[in-house]
Amino acid sequence: MTTIDLTPGTDTTAAIPGPATPYQDDIARYWDQEARPVNLRLGDVDGLYHHHYGIGDVDVAALGEPGEGARERKVIAELHRLESAQADVLLDHLGGVPREGLLVDAGCGRGGSMVMAHQRFGCRVEGVTLSAKQAEFANQRVRQLGIDEYVRSQVCNMLDMPFETGTAAGSWNNESSMYVDLHDLFAEHSRILAVGGRYVTITGCWNPVYGQPSKWVSQINAHFECNIHSRREYLRAMADNRLVPNAVIDLTAATLPYWELRATSSLVTGIEEAFISSYKDGSFQYLLIAADRV
């Protein structure tokens, strides 16, 4: 049991180990136990392990004919190509990052985006995740690649990151912002970013034009134990935390081919219908927001 000293003037948050809330404990457990083939088999294609979705047109010619023996392997390679293309688009929006710069991946999963960022910019990349299993996986992978001097994952709450104020050239959330309060999240990114630094997120958000979260959005929340925010909340929380958008890109049409291909594969997880239906009925959007720290 952890004893908390409530004497006035005592910092009760310092040195209390583990997740900050019971919810974060649940999320740590969720990702420690996650081993869905759709993620591991795609990652096995080239050693970049992602926990996000794909964008771009499907290369139909690369899939071969339906019923062909190698088709399933080709579908997996194509889904993986689209997931890596998503990470590439996120990295494009970081702008130029010097080799001596620091990048921070908030909610880094198994580290695929961090490896890609280092390979592109040659800089240090630090990631945080609630899951010890994910951090170990990511760190083992960068050791295998011989880039562990530059890329590291730590078990840590992204609302309280172990980086000095004003030191990051760039930071991002790739499908990880739906696990936290956005005001708390953007306050923390704003703290670690240097003035002029760039923040990027790719996220699923509910569309305020639709009214309220649809049944499909509620189904996605239940499936992943997350809490999807609205587009309006993102923009408001950024504005309140010195993050000024320079690009807001609706990737909904670009992600639909990924989902439609995935729905035909042997790796379906059951959540495909909720994504496809909510993207099509306009209740849910796949969005990239890039913002300058001013």
Ligand X SMILES: CC(C)=CCC/C(C)=C/COP(=O)(O)OP(=O)(O)O
Ligand Y SMILES: C[S@@+](CC[C@H](N)C(=O)[O-])C[C@H]1O[C@@H](n2cnc3c(N)ncnc32)[C@H](O)[C@@H]1O
* Residue ranges in contact with ligand Y by CB under 6 A: 24, 27, 31, 50-52, 107-109, 112-113, 128-131, 134, 157-159, 174-176, 179-180
> The tokens 């997880």 sit on which residue?
269
Of these partners, Mg ion, ligand Y, ligand X, none, which one is at the site of residue 134 (CB under 5 to 8 Å by kind)? ligand Y
Q: Which of residues 128-187 bind ligand X (CB under 6 A)?
A: 175, 178
> The tokens 């927001």 sit on which residue?
289
> The tokens 């796949």 sit on which residue?
286
Which one-letter DSSP state was computed for residue 177?
G
Residue 228 is a binding residue for ligand X (CB under 6 A): yes
Q: Which is nearer to ligand Y, 131 or 207 (CB)?
A: 131
For ligand X, what does the binding mask look like between residues 49 and 68, x meaning CB under 6 A? Answer: --xx----------------
For ligand X, what does the binding mask look like between residues 9 and 38, x meaning CB under 6 A? Answer: ---------------------------x-x
Considering the complex, what minimum distance in angstroms separates the CB of residue 163 from ligand Y?
13
Q: Which is nearer to Mg ion, 126 or 175 (CB)?
A: 175
Amino acid identity for residue 263 in this structure: A
> The tokens 């011989």 sit on which residue?
146
Cβ atoms of residues 91 and 158 within 8 Å:
no
Residue 271 is a binding residue for ligand X (CB under 6 A): yes
Number of chain positions touching ligand X (CB under 6 A): 14
58 phi/psi in degrees, rounded to 5: -75, 135
User: Could you give the CA distance from residue 111 to residue 144 in angstroms, rounded to a whole number?
Assistant: 13
With CB atoms as reference, the residue minimizing the distance to ligand X is: 204
Encoding tokens for residue 22? Answer: 């019971």
Q: Which is nearer to Mg ion, 39 or 283 (CB)?
A: 39
User: Could you give the CA distance from residue 137 to residue 71 in angstroms, rounded to a whole number?
Assistant: 29
**Nearest residue to 105 (alpha-carbon basis) of 51, 56, 36:** 51
Q: Which of residues 203-222 bind ligand X (CB under 6 A)?
A: 204, 220
Cβ atoms of residues 138 and 127 within 8 Å:
yes
Cβ atoms of residues 209 and 232 within 8 Å:
no
Residue 39 is a binding residue for Mg ion (CB under 5 A): yes
For binding to ligand X (CB under 6 A), which residues are involved? 36, 38-39, 51-52, 175, 178, 204, 220, 224, 226, 228, 269, 271
